[in-house]
Structure 1
Amino acid sequence: MEIEKILKEQRNFFETGATKSIQFRQNALNRLEIIIKKHEREIADALKKDLHKSAFESYMTETGLLLNEIRYVKKHLASWMKEKRVPTPLAQFPAKSMVIAEPYGVVLIIAPWNYPFLLCLQPLIDAISGGNCCVIKPSGASTVSFKMIKKIIEEAFPLEFVAVIKDGEKENKKLLEQKVDFIFYTGGPRVGKLIMEQAAKQLTPVVLELGGKSPCIVEESADLNLAAKRIVFGKFLNSGQTCVAADYVLVQESVKEELILKMCKWIHRMYGKEPLKCKDYPKIISSYHYERLMKLLKEELVVSGGYGRKETLQIAPTILNETDFDAPVMQEEIFGPILPVIGFETIERAVNLVKQKEKPLALYLFTKEQSVKKQVLSQLSFGGGCVNDTIVHLATSYMGFGGVGASGMGSYHGKAGFDTFSHKKSLLVRKSKIDIPIRYLPYRKYKNLFLHLFLR
């Protein structure tokens, strides 16, 4: 069906007001939950074919998080939808003031390939909670997952409520030319800029979930074994194809070699001495990205990994030492299983090195010193992160997730997601029986006294 026709049908359906009731939204969330559970095995199979993910990793990083988000939203939706009473200034007496959350209307969700189900359906859950109709454009790079997403959506919802648009250059261009009420995009900064430019032509609000070079700072007081274990887990999950994965490690010189040795140890423990034979180790999404990543390894000092297998599009978990900030691997988001390690003498130097780059989507700090924690967190701006862990801050509905500066704008998950997909309408309701005459002409001295009393 043509994009224009789908949008017209969704606009007509939204205008009926059906999506605004709490019962409709709860029913839609229930339906999506049932369908996801029904196809859990097929979702895992799709992720295995597209990214070579294990069933365990698929549930941990995608299906389980989706089901958790649905349960959380259903539990709290009624309270989020209530009119919120706020104080009324004395100058507006007698009246009451309130803020009302209302849906935007027809929203567009553009999702990436690296976590195809999570990053497509999680914003959908939040959009449904806000009472919107949705057009979804998953990435075609994860081809099997795309078909599975389409199957889930078509089984769960009618086209006039939620529709899936196929990926393609022609379709993408056509889609961005259409008038929608809100755009939610997850992907890279280059496309994010193009989407924002197109949205600006029609003054369409956007949320951009981008990426960047997320640092991991390891200070000498840290528990190095635990730091190494958690860095390896977060970095090589999904073969490094995670927007919040640590892009590089800054480690104090006094413990640098020890940290590297411990990271190598944990790579061997998690993936074996021959990681490419590990049945649970994911692959790179395409030959293009495989070649791109392999080129980044040229002229770098490899201390672990550094090799790949083109036939299966897998690259061994790789650690680089003595990487220079001017090296090619430090000029772009790596988005793969390559981890440069850079030393620093003082925490002030580490902070300054991070400041030289754009504000990152995530930041991780390993330390036992409260003064170091305070110094780093107070001086560096980033989307979100962890102290003494990596990556897991996004796996919650209790906090919003999003970037800042070049790493994105806006946030979602839980209440933050409901707020993102809802317009907050301010309303003041005045009483009719009393009408204080101070604001009306003609102005008098006594009115001026009262005005200064009310508005001081």
Structure 2
Amino acid sequence: MEELHANLAELNRAFCCGKTRGVEWRKSQLRAIIRLITENEAQIFEALHQDLGKHPVEAYRDEIGIVKKSADHSLLHIEKWMAMKKDWLPLLLFPATGQVLPEPLGTVLIMGSWNFPISLALDPVIGAISAGNTVVLKPSELAPACSSFLHRIVPLYLDKEAIKVIPGGSEVAEKLLQHRWDKIFFTGSPRVARIIMSAAAKHLTPVTLELGGKCPVILHSFSGSDLQVAVKRIVGGKWGPCAGQACIGVDYVLVQQKDAPVLVELLKNYIKKFYGEKVEKLQNICRIVNQNHFDRVRNLLQDPSVSASIVYGGSVDCKNLMIEPTILVDPPLDSDIMTEEIFGPLLPIITLDKIEESIDFINERPKPLAIYAFTRCKRFKERIMQETSSGSVTFNDIMIQFLCDSLPFGGVGESGFGRYHGKYSFDTFSHEKAILQRSYFLELEPRYPPWNDFKLTFIKMAYNFNYIGLLLLLLRRMFHRGKAQ
């Protein structure tokens, strides 16, 4: 605790002295992050392989590339984001100016996740640095090699007085949450998010929660070439990123009953092509992160009614914590596999009489982090956009929305709240301070007592922006005063 207090005191001093507010400091730290991931690429590959069995291609695509892209984007735009912006003011206040100044929040706590332990740690840090904050990063203890790497390497590249990595398990997280922060950013499960919100409430600390949910795929288009592309993208998006251990990964597929057999066969073909056959010989796919999560995912298949719905896969390798890509057709809707976030390589297919029923099916359940729909129908797209609620909607692809710095990334309802990526990350870690400056010239007497009918009429017109009426009212009053004199 003494060491933690000392670290936080140093961070607060760094912020209060203003060193993080200048654009050059922010740019230097962003460049340092780019050097960090570039010069230590091999070590990152090794750490990700130790923790999750990630292939270097997947590791670069989902971790290193994400961080570099995000830092480059911030470097390109940071001066524009920091600039004070003018805003419109009512003519009644003339002469006056209104401006909005983005200012850093202070010292922020960022708690990373184990499934993408490099990108989901450093990407929010990029936003916090861009906004001019001091930062404590707590990596996930469930990815120990990556946590150790960040703890060891970050101080060699980034400003040690303003950015600190504090590793550890739940006991460290509990101690961190006892302190007052200016912002908490958390990526993880709803269960832990409730603990964080409870702790943050004691200090009225603002929180951004990036959670998850059961993200559905609606398969509406079923023509030959469209279907081939759709299934290829579903297989790549379901099992490719961390073996389904991704918050925006595919959780289940909605399809018309008559089309399900064709879908299953195509899924099987692409699974074999991408990842191989038999659980002992799988390749290009991650393992389950640890024994607890392995047991949790395996237990989803233990219910006899669920196991009876398996049409492909289902084998497990307990020694290597591998679970074969598994397809299920119409498991019971009240089973755990359909009520809990799967976060693993199991894919239920739910059949419907008409695919239009998918909208009601989704709306009867908690709001997902993402909805994916494969369709060419503009009317059906419009219905999905207008009649459902989710963190995002992506048409005709899987998970690519995460790569787009120009789009906000975040959830709604139980899938989280707050947003980040690009300018949205800068905004998440900033406060937009309103600044109004007015001249001593032109004093509006109707704003002051004693009150009378003229002042009431004047104020009503002012609030209704009836400036012509105000002018006429003033001219009439001046005329009557002159006449009386």
Q: TM-score range by the shorter chain?
A: over 0.9
Greater Cα offset, 60-69 or 92-101: 92-101
Q: Which residue is equivalent to 1:245?
A: 249
1:136 partner amino acid: L
Structure 1, unmatched stretches of 5+, are none
1:377 maps to 2:385: yes
2:15 partner amino acid: F
Q: Residue 109 of structure 1 aligns to a residue in which SS?
A: strand
Residues matched between the structures, number: 456
Q: Which residue is equivalent to 2:153?
A: 152
2:216 partner amino acid: P
Using the alignment, how far apart are the partners of 1:453 and 1:151 within structure 2?
Answer: 64
Q: CA deviation at 1:212?
A: 1.0
1:175 partner amino acid: L
Q: Which residue is equivalent to 1:352?
A: 360
2:87 partner amino acid: V
Structure 2, unmatched stretches of 5+, are 465-485
Q: Counterparts in 2 of 1:191-270, with a 5 A limit?
A: 191-221=192-222, 223-237=226-240, 238-270=242-274
Q: Counterparts in 2 of 1:385-396, with a 5 A limit?
A: 385-396=393-404
1:186 maps to 2:187: yes
Greater Cα offset, 386-395 or 275-284: 275-284
Answer yes or no: is the 8 Å Cα contact 2:274–2:284 preserved in 1. no
Deviation track 1:281-307 (CA, whole Å, cap 9, x = no partner) reads 211100111111111112222222111
2:348 paired residue among 340, 351, 373: 340
Q: Which residue is equivalent to 2:135?
A: 134
Change in CA separation of 1:123 and 1:283 when aligned onto 2, cut-off 3 Å: same
Q: Which residue is equivalent to 1:277?
A: 281
Q: Which residue is equivalent to 1:176?
A: 177
Answer yes or no: is the 8 Å Cα contact 2:184–2:205 preserved in 1. yes
Q: CA deviation at 1:74?
A: 0.6
Q: Which residue is equivalent to 2:109?
A: 108
Q: Which runs of 4+ in 1 moved over 4 A?
A: none
1:122 partner amino acid: D
Q: CA deviation at 1:398?
A: 1.1
1:410 maps to 2:418: yes
Answer yes or no: is the 8 Å Cα contact 1:36–1:152 preserved in 2. no
Answer yes or no: is the 8 Å Cα contact 2:15–2:134 preserved in 1. yes
1:361 paired residue among 369, 374, 377: 369
Q: Which residue is equivalent to 2:481?
A: none
1:125 partner amino acid: I
Q: Which residue is equivalent to 1:441?
A: 449
Please report the RMSD computed on the Cα atoms of aligned residues, expressed in angstroms: 1.3
Q: Which residue is equivalent to 2:458?
A: 450
Using the alignment, how far apart are the partners of 1:97 and 1:374 within structure 2?
Answer: 38
Q: Residue 2 of structure 1 aligns to a residue in which SS?
A: helix
Identity fraction in percent: 38
Q: Which residue is equivalent to 2:431?
A: 423
Deviation track 1:336-379 (CA, whole Å, cap 9, x = no partner) reads 00000110112342111111211001110011211111112211
Q: TM-score when scaled to structure 2?
A: 0.92
Greater Cα offset, 436-445 or 336-345: 436-445
1:448 partner amino acid: L
Q: Residue 41 of structure 1 aligns to a residue in which SS?
A: helix
1:168 partner amino acid: G
Answer yes or no: is the 8 Å Cα contact 2:276–2:283 preserved in 1. no
Q: Which residue is equivalent to 1:82?
A: 83
Answer yes or no: is the 8 Å Cα contact 1:90–1:454 preserved in 2. no
2:260 partner amino acid: K
Q: Residue 401 of structure 1 aligns to a residue in which SS?
A: coil
Q: CA deviation at 1:275?
A: 5.4
2:46 partner amino acid: D
Q: Residue 349 of structure 2 aligns to a residue in which SS?
A: strand
Q: Residue 398 of structure 2 aligns to a residue in which SS?
A: coil
1:171 partner amino acid: V
Q: Residue 413 of structure 1 aligns to a residue in which SS?
A: coil
Q: Residue 47 of structure 1 aligns to a residue in which SS?
A: helix
Deviation track 1:89-141 (CA, whole Å, cap 9, x = no partner) reads 12222211111100000000011100000100000000000100000111111
Q: CA deviation at 1:447?
A: 3.0
Q: CA deviation at 1:72?
A: 0.5
Q: CA deviation at 1:157?
A: 2.1
Using the alignment, how far apart are the partners of 1:437 and 1:221 within structure 2?
Answer: 71
Q: CA deviation at 1:278?
A: 3.6
Q: TM-score when scaled to structure 1?
A: 0.97
Q: Residue 20 of structure 2 aligns to a residue in which SS?
A: helix
Using the alignment, how far apart are the partners of 2:310 and 2:120 within structure 1?
Answer: 32
Answer yes or no: is the 8 Å Cα contact 1:91–1:455 preserved in 2. no
Q: Residue 127 of structure 1 aligns to a residue in which SS?
A: helix
Q: Counterparts in 2 of 1:3-18, with a 5 A limit?
A: 3-18=4-19
